[in-house]
């Protein structure tokens, strides 16, 4: 009996525990769900709800609308800048195993950010710190997530480009990120925190299993997508660099002595510049926020300003987004 119950746990057959919360860490019924959301008291994974603000172009793409190549490129830059900034800041709490940004646009998943650490103690450190922090004028909403194996949480149809629910799918549609770009962020993390690499790894067995399974899957997927990714990345980096260059011109800071300059591409901010940007995450935003609100300039209820409410069931989904980012439109 006990065995049967444990087999059913978190599946559709389980009438007590919510399978969506168990698998994805998010359920569209949220607190009104009739099944139990078993919130973990510790985990390697932190979910930061609604942290990423999709640009109007990304929302349009997630709903299957077409946009120009230029707009798609801008959206990609917007996303990559966010990914880089957040990755490197979250890495200051501990060694990151994975960082995922949802491409979903349903109310319970829009802009959700999952960060999985190698160690639970580091996830705890991250959670405690983020609770009092702001990003983009919104207080962060971090929580421990039950999800430690993203392969079960991600939408398989989306990966194959066939999800009919597009952005409104209840499984994770992980926004794609170029592999070389991602690799360069991991490299930067280990450069800034050599202690992550050097210390002895005291992973649990399940972590190891999880990791090797994930690596195998990633390898399979990467072989399939490597070409596309390379193409997209080389385009995106060059424009990314240009964008950063414009920004950096203003700062006129020499980065010749930066320890990153050797390995990172010239477009990267050095750590001082980044710290300056990250300082904006601080509590001061609270005050700033109130000032801005008082002047009536900003709607700060956590919603974005455009058409996310429109009904979806578009046949062309987020995969078009990929396709459009990869292939120039004619
Ligand atoms: Zn639920
Ligand atoms: Zn899907």
pLDDT in tens, 127-136: 999 999 999 8
Is a pLDDT exceeding 50 seen at residue 165? yes
For residues 229-257, average pLDDT: 41
Question: Taking CA 195 as the corner, what is the angle to CA 174 and CA 215, rounded to the nearest 5 degrees?
Answer: 35
Q: What angle do CA 55, 60, 63 make, to 5 degrees?
A: 130
- Spacing, Cα 168 to ligand 2 middle (Å): 8
- Report the pLDDT value the prediction gives residue 72, as an integer from 0 to 100: 94
**Domains annotated on the chain, with CATH:** 1-38 (no CATH), 42-143+153-251+313-330 (3.30.70.330)
Q: Which ligand is nearest to the Cα of residue 24, counting in written order?
A: 1
Q: How many angstroms does the Cα of residue 64 sit away from the middle of ligand 2? A: 13
How many residues are recorded in the chain?
330
pLDDT of residue 152: 92
**What spacing in Å lies between the alpha carbon of 38 and ligand 1's midpoint?**
10
What is the distance in A from the centroid of ligand 2 to the CA of 169?
Answer: 4
User: What is the 325 CA–ligand 1 centroid distance (Å)?
Assistant: 34
**pLDDT per position as a tens digit, 101-137:** 999 999 999 999 999 999 999 999 999 999 999 998 9
Distance of CA 28 from the midpoint of ligand 1 (Å): 7
């Amino acid at each position: 009996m006990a065995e049967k119950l444990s087999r059913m746990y978190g599946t559709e057959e389980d009438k007590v525990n919510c399978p969506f919360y168990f698998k994805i860490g998010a359920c569209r019924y949220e607190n009104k769900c009739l099944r139990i959301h078993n919130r973990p008291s510790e985990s390697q994974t932190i979910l930061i709800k609604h942290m990423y603000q999709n640009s109007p172009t990304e929302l349009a793409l997630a709903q299957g609308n077409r946009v120009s190549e230029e707009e798609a490129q801008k959206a990609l830059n917007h996303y990559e800048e966010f990914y880089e900034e957040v990755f490197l800041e979250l890495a200051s709490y501990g060694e990151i195993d994975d960082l995922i940004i949802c491409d979903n646009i349903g109310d319970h998943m829009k802009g959700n950010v999952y960060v999985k650490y190698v160690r639970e103690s580091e996830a705890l450190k991250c959670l405690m710190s983020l609770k009092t922090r702001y990003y983009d004028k919104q207080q962060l909403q971090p929580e421990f997530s039950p999800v430690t194996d993203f392969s079960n949480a991600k939408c398989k149809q989306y990966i194959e480009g066939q999800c009919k629910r597009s952005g409104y799918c209840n499984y994770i549609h992980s926004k794609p990120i170029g592999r070389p770009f991602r690799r360069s962020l991991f490299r930067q993390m280990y450069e800034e925190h050599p202690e992550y690499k050097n210390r002895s790894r005291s992973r649990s067995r399940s972590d190891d299993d999880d990791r090797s399974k994930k690596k195998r899957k990633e390898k399979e997927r990467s072989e399939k997508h490597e070409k596309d990714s390379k193409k997209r990345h080389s385009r995106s980096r060059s424009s990314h660099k240009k964008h950063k260059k414009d920004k950096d011109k203003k700062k006129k800071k020499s980065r010749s002595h930066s320890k990153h300059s050797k390995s990172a591409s010239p477009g990267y901010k050095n750590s001082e510049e980044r710290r300056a940007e990250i300082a904006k995450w601080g509590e001061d935003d609270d005050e700033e926020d109130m000032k801005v609100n008082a002047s009536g300039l900003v709607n700060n209820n956590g919603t974005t300003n455009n058409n996310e409410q429109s009904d979806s069931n578009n046949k062309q989904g987020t995969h078009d987004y990929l396709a459009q980012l990869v292939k120039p439109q004619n």
